[in-house]
Structure formats: C-alpha cells, structure tokens
C-alpha cells in the first residue's frame, strides 16, 4: 500500500527534521512492500538519506530560469527529489488551470518523476451525478499509461473537513478510474485512524493521501502500522 502525507503549509525545517527522524525510525519495523511518501513544504526539504520518499507539493515546469518565486528541477535535484504532487485542489483553487497542470505533468514525465495526480469533484457536481464526466475532463489529454503515475481521488468536499466520502462513492470512482488506467489509485480526504481500514479494503484502492491526520508524525505512523 502507498501511504502519502501532504503536510501542506505546515512544519518548519526544524520540525520536519524531527518528523523525518521519527518516521525513519518507525519504518525500520514496517512492511517492506508499503511505499511511504511525504510532501513537506519546500523550505523544509532534507538533503540526507531517508527511509521514505520525499516529494514536492509544487514545482514549476522548468529546470531553472526567470520564474520569480518558483521551484525548478534544479532545486529538486539538490535534494534528490523526483516525486511530485500535481493537481491538488488547493493549488487548483489558487489558479492552476488544466493547461499548467498538463505542462507540469509532461515535464515530470519527461524527467521520469513519480507523479501523484489529484482529481476530485465538488459536492454539487456529485449531487448532479456529474462526477465521472468531471473527472474525465480533469484527466483529459494526460498520458494515463505513464508507468510512474499514481492517481489520487480526492473529492473536494472531503478535504480537510473531517468528513470522508462514503465508501460506496469511493468504490464507484476507483472502479471507474481503473477502467481508464492501470495507474495505482489512492483515496484522499479526511482519512483518519477510524476510517483507514475500510478505505484500504476498497477494491482498486492502492493506498491513501493524508493531510490533517499526518501532520503529527505519531498519527501518521499509526495509520501506516494499521
């Protein structure tokens, strides 16, 4: 299973160093087949060898250049980072449109990065029965056969709300996505220690992307240990 933690705009360099130390220690005793990925804020990237994959929450599709405030491949390389989050609803809400997400996807693919591509609909869209149509649009013109692709289904109404989507709805979307791609599929949206088991048991679910419940490293470790 894949256990991915999105730390968002939380943790400092100092606190993430402690987080990584505790996680490294705990991972010595977990199943080898699990894949653990953490997306810290970029200011906290660590340069040392880690027992988990360190990913970036954001990057600009360039190696370097005149892109004020952005993060290029050159900066990721310095920390050995080759795992990227693309399409998170919080970045879409800040204005990342399909054109930019596609450019990020293609750049990441060109450089063989592991991509976690997030998709997910608003509650209104779900109520109107338009989820699949909407997800199809979010995945339009992306190479769903890319071998280093993971897709995370993160319904917007469940992100950071404490209310995860219903199992039957997650199951229906993951089944739909599995008909379009062989990529591993994750669920994200208010995953916590009470609901994780039922979520991981869903057919086609290859793991979870966790925000709030992963901010405290002890809680994240408990989710991984099950």
If one asks whether residue 209 binds ligand PEP (CB under 6 A), the answer comes out as yes
| Out of 30, 58, 138, 212, the residue judged to bind ligand PEP by CB under 6 A | 212
Cα–Cα distance between 171 and 165 in angstroms, integer?
10
CA dist 175 and 185 (Å) reads 10
DSSP category for residue 123: H
**Residue 188 lies near ligand PEP (rule: CB under 6 A):** yes
The minimum distance between CB 145 and ligand PEP, in angstroms, equals 24
- Which of these ranges, 23-31, 51-59, 75-83, 211-219, lies near ligand PEP under the rule CB under 6 A? 211-219
Under a CB-based contact definition with an 8 Å cutoff, are residues 112 and 148 in contact? yes
Helix axis angle for 217-225 and 13-27, nearest 10°, is 20
Which of residues 46 and 118 has its CB atom nearest to ligand PEP in the complex?
118
Report the alpha-carbon distance of residue 133 to residue 152 in Å, rounded: 17
Per the rule left: phi > 0, alpha: psi between -120 and 50, beta: everything else, 64 is: beta
Interaction of residue 190 with ligand PEP, rule CB under 6 A: yes
Instruction: Round to whole Å and give the CA distance between 95 and 213.
Output: 26
Stretch that binds ligand PEP, among 63-71, 73-81, 142-150, 153-161 (CB under 6 A): 153-161
If binding is defined by CB under 6 A, does position 86 make contact with ligand PEP?
no
* Of residues 5 and 149, the one with the C-beta less far from ligand PEP: 5
11, 88, 121, 171: which is the annotated catalytic residue?
A: 88
Does residue 75 have an active-site annotation? no
The answer to the question of residue 191 lying near ligand PEP (CB under 6 A) is yes
Residue 88 known to be catalytic:
yes
- Number of residues counted as binding ligand PEP (CB under 6 A): 13
Given the residues 11, 96, 121, 154, the one annotated as active site = 154
Rounded to whole angstroms, the Cα distance separating 51 from 60 reads 26
Contacts of 7 (CB under 8 A, 6+ apart): 16, 19, 38, 39, 40, 41, 57, 214, 215
Interaction of residue 226 with ligand PEP, rule CB under 6 A: no
Enumerate binding residues for ligand PEP (CB under 6 A).
6, 154, 159-160, 188-191, 209-213
- Give the residue numbers annotated as catalytic, written as ranges: 88, 154
């Amino acid at each position: 299973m894949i256990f991915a933690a999105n730390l968002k705009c939380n943790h400092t360099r100092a606190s993430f160093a402690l987080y990584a130390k505790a996680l490294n220690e705990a991972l010595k005793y977990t199943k080898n087949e699990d894949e653990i990925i953490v997306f810290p804020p970029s200011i906290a990237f660590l340069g040392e060898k880690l027992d988990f994959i360190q990913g970036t929450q954001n990057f600009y599709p360039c190696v370097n250049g005149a892109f004020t405030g952005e993060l290029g491949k050159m900066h990721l390389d310095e920390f050995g980072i080759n795992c990227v989050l693309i399409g998170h609803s919080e970045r879409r809400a800040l204005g990342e449109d399909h054109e930019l997400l596609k450019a990020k996807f293609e750049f990441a693919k060109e450089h063989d990065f592991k991509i976690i591509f997030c998709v997910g609909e608003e509650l209104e869209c779900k109520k109107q029965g338009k989820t699949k149509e909407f997800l199809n649009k979010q995945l339009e013109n992306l190479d769903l056969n890319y071998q280093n692709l993971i897709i995370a289904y993160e319904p917007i109404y469940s992100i950071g709300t404490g209310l995860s989507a219903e199992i039957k709805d997650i199951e229906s979307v993951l089944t739909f996505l599995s008909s379009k791609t062989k990529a591993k599929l994750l669920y994200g949206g208010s995953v916590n220690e009470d609901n994780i088991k039922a979520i991981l048991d869903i057919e086609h679910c290859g793991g979870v992307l966790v925000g709030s419940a992963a901010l405290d490293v002890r809680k994240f470790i408990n989710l991984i240990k099950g």
